[in-house]
């Protein structure tokens, strides 16, 4: 990672942050110019700081402000296949359904160039993956977080990719998660309908924000324990970290979640090795087959660490 630092001059006061980065890097002979759109992306990704605090692209600068820009190491513009075992739930000539393990990143990103699901899919499927997602994301229609396990569908051709993407957009592709939550909601079920966007004070996190994108999560309690519960969360939309943000916002973060407060409790303190990441599993996936029109539904069991956690919760 490369760090750039600039001090805002009096004549630059009132300049938008993304424009400032573009102008300064264009005049900086020691780094490559950063376009305004790329600067906006760096802001959204939590890589730009004003006075030490993460700042958004629309921030208006004042004379004397210190602007720091993190330039992440570049992601390779080509992806090499890797012989990584895959848990294939279903496969045909149009698509493949995978049970992704916790700890695996879906596509390459700064700091995660190798060991991704994309690289494993390239090895398994060869050239038969859709190219709509770009060189670094072959076949990828939707994602699940690195430390979330469960079902994910990838497309083997552009026809399948377009159809599956449309189903996600129209909410006809149903994705349901199992989750262990901190606390016990008063009600047995409910819906969180609150917009999600980048956290204004921590750009590496998401949050419920007024000007965020529409986000709807339906939840219901399956089993209750002393201070915790097992729940089912169904996505109507698919925003980044949606279930984690929504459940934390209503006071019941996903157990073990280090970003949204789910790791600050007696269970995680007593079982630090087991509670290494959020207990969240994409256990159900339903969609219409792009070619046949058949409605398809898949399920996969919770991983061993989640089953063990629930066993321990039951003994509290």
Give 211-222 pLDDT, tens digit per residue.
788 999 999 999
How confident is the model at residue 74, as a pLDDT? 53
Fold adopted by 171-316: Pseudouridine synthase (3.30.2350)
Contacts of 193-200 with C-beta under 8 Å, sequence gap 24+, read: 194/246, 194/249, 196/239, 196/240, 196/241, 196/242, 196/245, 196/246, 198/44, 198/46, 198/56, 200/56
pLDDT, one tens digit per residue, over 60-111 is: 999 999 999 988 755 555 678 999 999 999 999 999 999 999 999 998 776 6
How confident is the model at residue 73, as a pLDDT? 59
Q: Which has more pLDDT, 265 or 107?
A: 265
CATH of domain 74-170: 3.30.2350.10
Task: Decide if 145 is catalytic.
Answer: yes
pLDDT, one tens digit per residue, over 127-157 is: 778 766 665 678 889 999 999 999 999 999 9
Q: Where in the chain is the domain with CATH 3.30.2350.10?
A: 74-170, 171-316
What are 174's strand-pairing partners?
286
Contact between residue 255 and residue 148 where contact means Cβ atoms under 8 Å apart? no
pLDDT, one tens digit per residue, over 14-57 is: 999 999 998 888 776 566 778 888 888 888 878 899 998 888 99
- Residue 281: pLDDT band with limits 50, 70, 90: very high
Q: Does domain 2-71 have CATH number 3.10.290.10?
A: yes
How confident is the model at residue 27, as a pLDDT? 72
- Residue 1: pLDDT band with limits 50, 70, 90: low
Q: Mean pLDDT, to the nearest integer, of 162-172?
A: 92
How confident is the model at residue 116, as a pLDDT? 92
**How much is the pTM?**
0.77
How confident is the model at residue 30, as a pLDDT? 60
Per-chain mean pLDDT for the chain: 90
Of these residues, 94, 145, 147, 257, which one is catalytic? Answer: 145
Q: Which has more pLDDT, 215 or 112?
A: 215
Chain position carrying tokens 């199992």: 178
How confident is the model at residue 28, as a pLDDT? 66
For residue 225, is it left (φ>0), alpha (ψ between -120 and 50) or beta?
A: beta
Residue 169, pLDDT above cutoff 80 = yes
How confident is the model at residue 18, as a pLDDT? 93
Residue 5, pLDDT above cutoff 80 = yes
Q: Where in the chain is the domain with CATH 3.10.290.10?
A: 2-71
What percentage of the chain exceeds 90 in pLDDT? 70
For residue 22, what are the contacts with CB-CB under 8 A and spacing of at least 6? Answer: 33, 34, 35, 36, 39
């Amino acid at each position: 990672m490369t760090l750039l630092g600039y001090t805002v001059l009096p004549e630059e006061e009132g300049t938008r942050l993304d424009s400032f980065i573009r102008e300064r890097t264009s005049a900086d002979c020691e780094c490559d110019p950063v376009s305004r759109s790329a600067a906006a992306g760096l802001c959204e990704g939590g890589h730009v700081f004003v006075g030490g605090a993460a700042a958004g692209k629309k921030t208006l600068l004042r004379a004397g402000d210190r602007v720091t820009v993190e330039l992440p190491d570049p992601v390779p513009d080509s992806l090499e296949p890797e012989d990584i075992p895959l848990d294939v739930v279903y496969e045909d000539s149009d698509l493949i359904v995978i049970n992704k393990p916790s700890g695996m990143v879906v596509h390459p990103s700064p700091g995660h160039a190798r060991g991704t699901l994309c690289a494993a899919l390239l090895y398994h499927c060869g050239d038969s993956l859709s190219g709509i997602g770009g060189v670094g994301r072959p076949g990828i229609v939707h994602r699940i977080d690195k430390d979330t396990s469960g079902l994910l569908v990838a497309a083997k051709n552009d026809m399948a990719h377009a159809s599956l993407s449309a189903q996600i957009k129209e909410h006809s592709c149903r994705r349901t998660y199992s989750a262990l939550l901190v606390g016990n909601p008063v009600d047995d079920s409910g819906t969180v309908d609150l917009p999600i966007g980048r956290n204004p004070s921590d750009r590496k996190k998401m949050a419920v924000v007024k000007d965020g994108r529409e986000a709807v999560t339906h939840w219901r309690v399956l089993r209750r324990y002393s201070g915790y519960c097992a729940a089912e969360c169904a996505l109507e939309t698919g925003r980044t970290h949606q279930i984690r943000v929504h459940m934390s916002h209503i006071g019941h973060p996903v157990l073990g979640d280090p970003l949204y407060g789910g790791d600050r409790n007696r269970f995680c303190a007593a079982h630090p090795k087991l509670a290494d990441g959020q207990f969240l599993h994409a256990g159900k996936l339903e969609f219409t087959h792009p070619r046949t029109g058949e409605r398809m539904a898949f399920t996969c069991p919770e991983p061993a660490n989640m089953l063990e956690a629930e066993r321990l919760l039951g003994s509290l």
